Amino acid sequence: MISILRSIWLVFLHALHRRVTVQYPEQAIRRPPRFRGRIILSRDPDGGERCVACYLCAAACPVDCIALQAAQDEHGRRYPAFFRINFSRCIFCGFCEDACPTYAIQLTPDFEMSEARRQEMVYEKEDLTISGPGKYPGYNFYRVAGLAIAGKGKGQAENEQPPSDPKTLLP
Amino acid sequence: MITIYVDNQAYQAKAGGNLLEAVLSLGLNLPYFCWHPAMGSVGACRQCAVTLYKDEQDTQGKIVMACMTPVKEGLRISLQDRQSRDFRARVIEWLMANHPHDCPVCDEGGECHLQDMTVMTAHDYRRYRFAKRTFANQDLGPFVNHELNRCIACYRCVRFYNDYAGARDFSVLGCHNTVYFGRSQSGPLESEFSGNLVEVCPTGVFTDKTLKEHYTRKWDLQTAPSICVHCGLGCNTIPGERYGTLRRVQARYHSQVNGYFLCDRGRYGYEFVNRPERPRTAMIRRDGQLAAASAEAALAAARELVGSARGLAGVGSPRASLESNFALRQLVGAENFYSGQAPWLDDCVREALRQLQIGPATPSLRQVEQCDAAVVLGEDVTNFAPMLDLAIRQAVRVEPMELARQLKIDLWLDGPVRELIQDRRGPLLIASPAATKLDEIARWTYRSGPAGVVRLALATARELDASLPVPDGLDEPTARLAKEVAAALAKAKSPLVVSGCGCGSVELIQAAGVLARALAKVNSAARLSLTVPDCNSLGLAMLGGKNFRQALEALRLGRADTAVVLESDLWDLAPTDAVESALAGKRLVVLDHLPGRTVQRADVLLPAGTFAEADGTLVNNEGRAQRFFQVFPPQGDIRQSWRWLGDLAGRNWPNLDAVLAELSSALPDLAPATGAAPQANFRIEGLKVARQSHRYSGRTAITADVTVHEPKPPDDPDTPLTFSMEGFDGIPPAALVPRFWSPGWNSQSALTRFQQEVNGPLRGGPAGVRLINPGSSGGTAVSAVSGESDQAGPQAGRLCYQKLLVVPAWHIYGSEAQSMQSPALAGRAPRPYLGLSPADAAQAGLQADQRITAQFDGQSLSLEARILPSLPRGLAVLGMLAGQPAVQLPAIIDPPPKGAP
Amino acid sequence: MSPTAVYLVTIFGLLIAVFTLSAGLIWYERRLLALFQDRYGPNRVGPFGLLQSVADIVKIFFKEDWVPPFADKPVFVIAPAVIIVATLMSFGVVAFAPGVMVSDLNVGLLFFLAMSSMGAYGVALAGWSSNNKYSLLGGLRAAAQVISYEVFMGLSLMGVVMMAGSFNLVRIVQAQERMWFFLPQLVGMAVFMVAGFAETFRIPFDLPEAENELVAGFHTEYSGMKFAFFFLGEYIGISLVSAMLVILFFGGWLGPVLPPLAWFFIKTFIFISFFILVRGSLPRPRFDQLMAYGWKVMLPLSLANLVVTAGILLWRRS
């Protein structure tokens, strides 16, 4: 009996508390950096596309809303010829970001992307690519990978010896 | 069967193999690299370590390499104990020390044996902190990409390329930690089997260069079981499609046909499917111009042409399925059905069919590999039927392996066996007009035109069977060679006679039959293998249409005024003038998927599906009917040929099974072809087999740029497969295997899970069915061939310098029309040429590479002169290149005058 | 004005007032609940979200008036009307202020009790006619609950009747000139309040529509205006019980300075707010707990109150 009255009293006291509701459109929302919102494709510190079209994001996607096609420039650098995300299917789970080995695909705190027509929720590479490195400044996949690209020959990546000469027998 | 104990659990294993094979056959996981089921064990990578115990009391055990340990009764091993697990983890850590940080940009990723094995051993963190060794790559030509940084030095590539496929332009260079697998310098790989490096390499050192142009991961490919359409051997393939284009072709294991491998024509010839020039829209000729029309309008126009025809001529195709050819035969009537094989080759194919029906039995490629003596009569198998070359290369090792058997060395111990055999080779005779690649492993070579080869064959047969007559005009060296060859063949346990249509000589095929039968009297294990030019040559011959000459005749004389041409270019079949005069004023309905002159000339063009867009049955050179399945649904107007023809004939077959049912009742001989694969209503656990892997990605985004509303997956009424990721994903019947994948095994190595035992047949029953049973068809045995019929021209050996006998010279890259549409392959095709012996060239005053004009019957060709030192005098070879004007071969021509400079 | 005209004006004024008030109460409850739960509630439509109810009414008017094909149609249609009519009838005897009432019935209190138990018919019939097992369960619960609780509801008021010596509500209010009855009749008031919660099916006694076990209980199959009737009925019921509380225990319109009608409404609103506060605070008991509480605690308590009140009155009189 007392506990019932106490509950009623305590609830009544809440009338004097601050309200937690954020008046969204008028009032800005604070979002943590790891908020899972609109997906973007970032660039490496040299300004090159980070995405190497490895298809891992597409494979990880539980709703299969990512489609892309790999292509390569004349020096062998891989990039997506097209990269499409159907945001009308996306569930913002962030698996694509987890799967990405190059930090290319990232989820951003932006979520204000509603459209009146579903067709406009389909984002192509041009809509997705941003000009900076996003959440992970400094990382450049091709500096670490063994593959040669323009401006980085064999053996010039981090932690690599120069190419060995198969014709020598010296130790 | 014997009992072995793995981790204290008893298993039944096959005696005689090695432990790794046994463990894999039992479905257990054991990582390995250097072992390959086709190439045996060398124990180089140290990855398949297991702990072997003396007996039940032994708790210590010792580490042995499973691939080097024979399976014995009561063997006790452990895969899970700490000792061997640690050992394997260390080994893979060493192997991975220098492996680059490449997987995202590596084409092997997702189907990488190294990835699978690394996960299997649970190596997940690199402790190696020092700089990694690197290598400069080589350009290995249009087929294979080289990225040597990724090498883990398992030596599988050299073992395949040099030891198995017998090529020499690739080897191991360097020493210690920097061994280099490559050529002495950049350049295209010379072997016709180089593409297999892609599958043999456990990691991404060798990858498919054509796939790189439109790269797709294995899990994203829509795949279906298919049959190679680029020669008559019927190798099993797995083509993969993504976004409506074919991306690559991989080998589909078949224990009897191609085993684990494919030739480069079969692997890289697929790109004709994607060509922009391909006819893709239905067209109708209006005011002299072909104009695009709707499929229905074109069909109506074709129906109008066929219905109002005063006489029909249907030209079938050796590269179209049995069903499509049969549909045409039903449309035009059996008496108006003609073969679309070049007439001279058609004669040969029919003769080959007759010989196969008489016997002796024809071997599968696997059986060829096990023959211990072989004669190759008039064939350049490397170029005409490439995988037969690979099989013969294994066959010459069979006889010397007897040595190993005597020394009680297990034959799967590849290192010791090769060390023992060295360069010893079994008896192999290559009798051909010009040098072939197999000459280097032949015990005897014999250079002559078809007539000479016929004489040699008959002389050899006479040595084996004294009741046969001695051939006319036999010279002393040939007789001596015949005696020697006959002796070797008689001694062999399973001798083989190889011949075929490559020479264009009917007599040669007959002579091969005579020899094989003579041999069969001595040894019932004797086999006769005959090659045919196209993927369904034999099937077309079994349908029994008339020769194309008669089609031209019927058209010329006006008995037929409308021709329905199925997947054939008439200009490839007969000389231009003959075709044009026969077609003048005639109406032409064409079904094809290749651009060509016939397509240009069509009054109604119905775009046909390629092998990747159609279902059907092909009959290979051994008479094996095998089903191929649609890899992806045809786009736009494209339909399967048999469907077009069925609609045209008003048959409205609901599915492929209906065509096969009608085929079975019309042609009972071909009825077993129905059983080549399960029918459309076949289900496993109530499910169709999924063409897409369970990881297939992008389902809701692929077509989202056109519309966000995803379409329903297309129906497939014709097959027990579905165009979807929903469906059965386990091990289906062998004829329906769309991909090799098993949990933890993403690479082609997963196929050990699909085999009943290592190198054994696939689980779930046989794929394909033999249609020919020797002796059953009532063909009469011809005991002798008159050597005379071929003697109109100059005989090699009896020199006659006035005229040249021209025989065909086939090219793996260039002779087959479909594969020539592939840029990678076309780039390696020779320019049109006439090969001359040095003496003939000198007499005509010709230099190498000089332009000449050769005058054939009804056709003059502008060619390049090539001087072939191996050619006997009086003999010339014409490079058979797709798209060059058709000529009848063998032909006798005047020595060519020099062309205009 | 003729007495008939006054009569009609009062009736229609009352109807309009009650309906508007109930609609407003929906907004009021949502805002108040939000206040107790540290949020805003509806604040988008009109100033302070005041027009939310208007929006809701417009919406609900345009909804399809759907009767499930498996329902017992006539009963299904009548059930919501029964509820509304029963609760509205009670307002006929409510004494708002001196002279401001429809009917100065001498058995007003009994009339109120009779009408409030009529409401149970509406609920039970709605549950029955829906032909849905959840609805039926809800209806059965409602019937059981109302029968149980109206027993001591009536008993709890007997103290007041004894003290006022009348069933007439005006007399009862006038009897509180010296002292509001909630002081001597504290137990009676508590019991009546609990019974009021049960009679109106308000949390914590909303078992007939317990949404986490019965979907929406007796009105699962209802939508559109019929659903709105149930909804309105509930709020009219709250107003009625609050008004009765004020009349019986808190001196009705009595109070200094302000006009009597104002006092009446202020007091009523305080109790309406209390209803909402309880909804925001208390969990729903199990049905067996509800029944046990009613029969084993409330009934003895109200009987005891009756006996004690009667005893004291007799003692003082003698």
Residues B693 and B839 grouped into a single domain: no
Please answer yes or no on whether A11 and C35 come within 8 Å at the CB atom: no
What Rg do the C-alpha atoms of chain A give, in angstroms?
24
Chain A residues in contact with B215 by the CB 8 A cut-off are: 53, 70-72, 78
Nearest to A66 among B104, B147, B697 (CB): B697
Residue B52, domain CATH:
3.10.20.740
CA distance C29 to C276: 6
Q: Does residue B346 form part of some domain?
A: no
Tokens representing residue C145 in the block: 């609950």
Yes or no, beta carbons of A18 and C38 under 8 Å apart: yes
Shortest CA distance from C38: residue in chain A: A19
Average pLDDT over residues B501-523: 93
Same structural domain for residues B423 and B465?
yes
Are the C-beta atoms of residues A122 and A84 closer than 8 Å to each other? yes
Q: CB neighbours of B717 closer than 8 A, spacing ≥ 6?
A: B654, B655, B680
* pLDDT value, residue B791: 38
Q: Any CB–CB contact under 8 A between C40 and chain A? A: yes
Across B303-316, average pLDDT? 93
Say if residue B513's pLDDT is above 90.
yes
**Which range (B295-304, B342-351, B724-733, C166-175) has the least confidence?**
C166-175
Decide if C38 touches A, using CB distance below 8 A: yes
Contact partners of A by the rule of 3+ C-beta pairs under 8 A?
B, C
- Sign of the alpha-carbon dihedral angle for B691, B695, B700, B701: negative
Lowest mean pLDDT across B119-128, B583-592, B678-687, C98-107: C98-107
- Better-predicted residue by pLDDT, C118 or B737: B737
Q: Are B460 and B489 contacting, i.e. CB atoms less than 8 angstroms apart?
A: yes
Question: What's the total number of domains in chain B?
Answer: 4
Q: Note whether B701 contacts A67, CB cutoff 8 Å.
A: yes
Which A residues in the span 125-144 are in contact with B, Cβ-Cβ below 8 Å? 141, 144
| Contacts with B, A 87-126, CB within 8 Å | 88-89, 101-102, 118-119, 121-122, 124
Beta strand pairing call for A105-107 and A160-163 = unpaired
Instruction: Please list the alpha-helical segments (H only) found in B17-96.
Output: 19-25, 82-96
**Cross-strand pairs, B770:** B624
**Residue C298's Cα: distance from chain center in Å?**
19
Does residue B604 belong to any structural domain of this protein? yes
* Contact yes or no for A67 and B702 at CB 8 A: yes
| Residue B387: inside a domain | yes
The continuous run of DSSP H or E covering C317 comes out as: helix C299-317
Q: Does residue B564 lie within any of the structural domains?
A: yes
- Res. B779 pLDDT band, cuts 50 70 90: very low
How far off is chain C from A31, nearest CA to CA, in Å?
20
- CB contact under 8 Å between A19 and C39, yes or no, is yes
> Is 70 exceeded by the pLDDT of residue B786?
no
3-state secondary structure of B228: coil
Q: Minimal CA–CA distance to B32: which of B110, B96, B121, B150? A: B121
d(CA B391, CA B395): 6
Is the pLDDT at B775 greater than 80? The verdict is no
Residues B543 and B454 in one domain: no
Query: For B750, phi and psi rounded to 5 degrees?
Result: -60, -15
C37–A contact, CB cutoff 8 A: yes
Nearest Cβ partner of C36 from A14, A18, A21?
A: A14
Residues of chain A with Cβ-Cβ distance to C280 below 8 Å are 11
Query: How far apart, in whole angstroms, are the C-alpha atoms of residue B257 and residue B251?
Result: 11
Who wins on pLDDT, C219 or B593? B593
User: Residue B270 falls within a domain, yes or no?
Assistant: no
Query: Does C142 or B376 have the greater pLDDT score?
Result: B376
Same domain, B416 and B387: yes
Report pLDDT digits (tens) over C53-80. 888 888 888 888 888 888 888 888 888 8
Q: Are residues B392 and B467 in the same domain?
A: yes
Q: Are residue B445 and residue B430 in the same domain, yes or no?
A: yes
Average pLDDT rounded to a whole number, residues B119-134: 91
Domain membership of residue B386 (yes or no) is: yes
Residue C141 has a pLDDT of: 87
Q: Helices C133-164 and C299-317, interaxial angle, to 10°?
A: 10
Which residues neighbour B694 within 8 Å (Cβ) at sequence distance 6 or greater?
Answer: B725, B729
Alpha carbon of A23: minimum distance to chain C alpha carbons (Å):
9
B 95-124 residues inside an 8 A Cβ radius of A: 100-106, 109-110
Query: Across chain B, what does the average pLDDT equal?
Result: 91
| Cα distance between residue A120 and residue A107, in whole Å | 19
Q: Residue B783: its pLDDT value, please?
A: 46
Output the domain CATH number for residue B430. Answer: 3.40.228.10
For residues B532 and B527, what is the distance between their CA atoms, to the nearest angstrom? Answer: 16
Residue B673 in domain: yes
Burial class of residue A165 in the structure, from the number of CB atoms within 10 Å of its CB (0-12 exposed, 13-18 middle, 19+ buried): middle
Measured in angstroms, the CA of C143 and the nearest CA of chain A are apart by: 26
Check CB contact under 8 Å for A155 and B698: no
C-beta atoms of A164 and B134 within 8 A: yes
Domain boundary among B48, B71, B95: B95
Q: Give the domain-ending residue among B46, B71, B95.
A: B95
Sheet holding B62-65, edge to edge: B9-13, B2-6, B76-78, B49-53, B62-65
Listed residue (B425, B388, B652, B407) closest to B530, CA to CA: B388
Residues B451 and B382 in one domain: yes
Same domain, B443 and B425: yes
DSSP letters for B721-780: EESSS-SB-S---GGG-----BTTB-SGGGGGGTBSSTTSPBSSS-SSEE---TTTT-PP
Which residue in B235, B215, B223, B145 sits closest to B186, CA to CA?
B145
Q: Which residues of A touch B174 (CB under 8 A)?
A: 164-169
Residue B440 has pLDDT above 90, yes or no: yes
> For residues B151 and B136, is the Cβ–Cβ distance under 8 A?
no
Hey, what's the torsion of the CAs at B744, B747, B748, B754, to 10 degrees? 10
Residues in C touching A5 (Cβ below 8 Å): none
Instruction: Give me the CATH number covering residue B684.
Output: 3.40.50.740
**Nearest residue in chain C measured CA to CA from A3:** C282
B170 touches chain A (CB under 8 A): no
Per-residue pLDDT, averaged over B536-547, amounts to 93
pLDDT value of residue B801 = 53
Chains A and C touch (3+ CB pairs under 8 A): yes
Tokens 């005409």 -> residue: B384
pLDDT at C254: 81
- Whether B150 contacts chain A with CB within 8 A: yes
For residue B877, the cross-strand partners are B807, B835
Please give the span between the terminal C-alpha atoms of chain C, in angstroms, as a whole number: 49
On whether the CB atoms of residues B19 and B70 are closer than 8 A, the answer is: yes
d(CA B134, CA B139): 16
Residue B817 lies in a domain: yes
Average pLDDT over residues A45-63: 93
**C36 in contact with A at a CB cutoff of 8 Å?**
yes
> Is the separation of the CB atoms in B796 and B805 below 8 Å?
yes
Q: What is the pLDDT of residue B82?
A: 92
Assembly ipTM: 0.89
Q: Is the domain of B628 the same as that of B725?
A: yes
Question: Is some CB atom of chain A closer than 8 A to the CB atom of C282?
Answer: yes
Contacts of A7 in chain C (CB under 8 A): 281-282
Give the closest-approach CA distance of B126 to chain A in angstroms.
Answer: 13
Give the single-character DSSP code of C285.
P
Average pLDDT over residues C244-250: 89
The pLDDT of B412-428, averaged and rounded, is 92
Q: What is the mean pLDDT of residues B483-487?
A: 95
Query: What's the distance, Cα to Cα, between the start and end of chain B in Å?
Result: 73
C-beta atoms of A8 and C281 within 8 A: yes
Residues B584 and B714 in one domain: yes
Residue C307 or residue C202, greater confidence: C307
Q: How near does any CA of chain A get to the CA of C19, in Å?
A: 27
Instruction: Give residue A126's pLDDT band: very low, low, confident or very high (50, 70, 90).
Output: very high
Asked whether residue B304 carries a pLDDT value surpassing 80, the answer given is: yes
Do the chains contact at C35 and A20, CB–CB below 8 Å? no
Q: How far lies B811's CA from each of B170, B240, B251, B380, B833, in Å?
A: 22, 26, 21, 9, 12
- For the beta carbon of residue B680, count every other beta carbon within 10 angstroms: 20
Considering only CB atoms, which chain A residues are within 8 Å of B214?
A: 69
Q: Report percent pLDDT > 90 for chain B.
A: 82
- pLDDT score of C9: 84
Q: How many CA atoms lie within 13 A of C156 on its CB side?
A: 31
On whether any CB of chain C is under 8 Å from the CB of A15, the answer is yes
A15:C35 CB<8 A:
yes
User: In this structure, are B813 and B687 located in the same domain?
Assistant: no
Q: Give the closest of B176, B701, B708 to A66, CB-based.
A: B701
Range of the domain at B618: 283-341+539-731
Q: Which residue has the tokens 């109604």?
A: B604
Q: Could you tell me the pLDDT band of residue B898, with boundaries at 50, 70 and 90?
A: low
Q: Would an 8 Å CB–CB cutoff place A168 in contact with chain B?
A: yes
Please check whether residue A99 is in contact with residue A57, taking contact to mean a CB–CB distance below 8 angstroms. yes
pLDDT exceeds cutoff 70 at B848? yes
What are the tens digits of pLDDT across the range A64-89? Answer: 999 999 999 998 899 999 999 999 99
CATH at B844: 2.40.40.20
- CB-closest option in A4, A11, A21 to C36: A11
Helices (H) and strands (E) in chain C, counts: 12, 0
Q: What is the pLDDT of residues B754-773, one digit of tens each?
A: 999 999 999 877 788 999 88
Q: Which of B701, B731, B761 is the last residue of a domain?
A: B731
Higher-confidence residue of B80 and B766: namely B80
Identify the pLDDT of residue A167: 84
Of C35, C36, C282, the CB nearest to A4: C282
- pLDDT of A171 strictly over 80: no
Residue located via tokens 């001596």: B480
Which chain B residues are within 8 Å of A155, Cβ to Cβ? 134
Whether residue B500 sits in one domain with residue B375: yes
Predicted confidence (pLDDT) per residue in C8-62, tens digit: 888 888 888 888 888 888 888 889 899 898 888 888 888 888 888 888 888 888 8
User: pLDDT averaged over chain C?
Assistant: 86
Residues of A (13-32) whose Cβ lies below 8 Å from B: none
Residues near B810 by Cβ (< 8 Å), separated by ≥ 6? B380, B383, B384, B502, B880
